[in-house]
């Protein structure tokens, strides 16, 4: 009798493909600095016109995963509720445990990367130090609103590896020259009309799903058998890859010029384009 080829768990395959597709999309929407100096420009946020800074809260390393907390959007979070109960218990150890369990702040700003403006708006995520530095400059009359599309300022960002630390620390400096966000109508169209929503980056779990994640964290022994079953199913999707067929390179046709709507046909009317955008989203 010949070898019987194990059946493939199609649901597991579909879930994995969706995860990979989402990860690729997310990577295209985010930006982070490296040791080389890069210049970015914070732009007004389409879904929050009065403030370009988006504060999100995350539960890190819960069962080895990261969860976006619903408190980011003013919704109840069962993990935060338990953390608050621990902090209110009245003893130092419980307070520390509650502090460890509560979500941590991560701030994002929509930016365009100088030299890569055609890629559109991306999200730059940063911690408390960079956030405070940006806010301090904005309230300084000599600097003003760095995200202003006409009178704003570009920001030079890079990272530094400090002695004794295993990670690189971000650094920034704001340029003194005031500049327009762009002089190119097509780029302005992309910034104004094709700006992504921060919610596209992260999967917000329901209250019940977060309750289960918390239960898994508190009682991992309850889910040991489930993990064994999951590992066994994963073995069924180890399929030998077929050689990839060679693809014929096709000569690319010249791209047509981007069609620009009336609001941005005049590159000098940058403020008008953003004003129209915010009116649409009211």
Instruction: Output the domain CATH number for residue 63.
Output: 3.90.198.10
Average of per-residue pLDDT across 197-208: 92
238 within domain boundaries: no
Average pLDDT, the chain: 82
147 within domain boundaries: yes
CA 230 to CA 216: how far, in whole Å?
Answer: 15
25 within domain boundaries: yes
Range of the domain at 96: 19-220+266-280
pLDDT at 265: 46
Number of neighbours of residue 41 by Cβ within 10 angstroms = 23
**DSSP summary character for residue 277:** H
Query: Residue holding tokens 């508190």?
Result: 218
CA 35 to CA 171: how far, in whole Å?
Answer: 10
pLDDT in tens, 103-140: 999 999 999 999 999 999 999 999 999 999 999 999 99
Point out which residues pair with 113 in neighbouring strands. Answer: 40
Is residue 139 within a helix (H) or strand (E), and if so which, with residue range?
helix 128-139
89 within domain boundaries: yes
pLDDT in tens, 40-82: 999 999 999 899 999 999 999 999 999 999 999 999 999 999 9
pLDDT in tens, 265-277: 455 577 777 777 6
11 within domain boundaries: no
CA 114 to CA 181: how far, in whole Å?
Answer: 10
pLDDT in tens, 222-238: 887 765 555 555 554 44
Quote the tokens at residue 177. 């020259």
- Is pTM beyond 0.75? Reply is no
76 within domain boundaries: yes
Number of domains into which the chain is organized: 1
6 within domain boundaries: no
């Amino acid at each position: 009798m010949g070898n019987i080829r194990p059946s493939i768990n199609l649901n597991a395959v579909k879930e994995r493909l969706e995860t990979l597709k989402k990860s690729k999309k997310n990577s295209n929407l985010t930006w982070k600095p490296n040791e080389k100096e890069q210049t970015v420009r914070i732009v007004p946020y389409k879904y929050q016109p009065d403030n370009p800074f988006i504060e999100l809260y995350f539960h890190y390393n819960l069962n080895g995963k990261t969860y976006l907390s619903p408190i980011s959007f003013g919704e109840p979070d069962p993990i935060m509720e338990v953390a608050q109960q621990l902090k209110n218990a009245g003893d130092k150890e419980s307070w520390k445990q509650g502090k460890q369990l509560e979500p941590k702040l991560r701030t994002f700003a929509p930016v365009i990367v100088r030299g890569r403006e055609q890629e559109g708006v991306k999200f730059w995520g940063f911690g408390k130090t960079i956030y405070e530095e940006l806010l301090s400059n904005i309230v300084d009359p000599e600097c003003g609103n760095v995200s202003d599309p006409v009178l704003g300022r570009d920001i030079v960002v890079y990272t530094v590896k400090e002695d004794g630390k295993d990670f690189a620390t971000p650094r920034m400096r704001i340029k003194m020259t005031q500049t327009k966000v762009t002089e190119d109508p097509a780029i302005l169209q992309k910034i104004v009309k094709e700006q992504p929503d921060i919610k596209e980056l992260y999967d917000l779990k329901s209250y019940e799903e977060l309750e289960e994640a918390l239960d898994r964290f508190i009682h991992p022994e309850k889910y040991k058998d489930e993990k064994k079953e999951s590992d066994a199913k994963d073995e069924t999707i180890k399929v030998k890859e077929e050689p990839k067929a060679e693809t014929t390179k096709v000569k690319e046709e010249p791209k047509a010029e981007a069609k620009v709507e009336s609001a941005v046909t005049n590159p000098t009317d940058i403020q008008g384009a953003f004003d129209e955008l915010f009116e649409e989203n009211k």
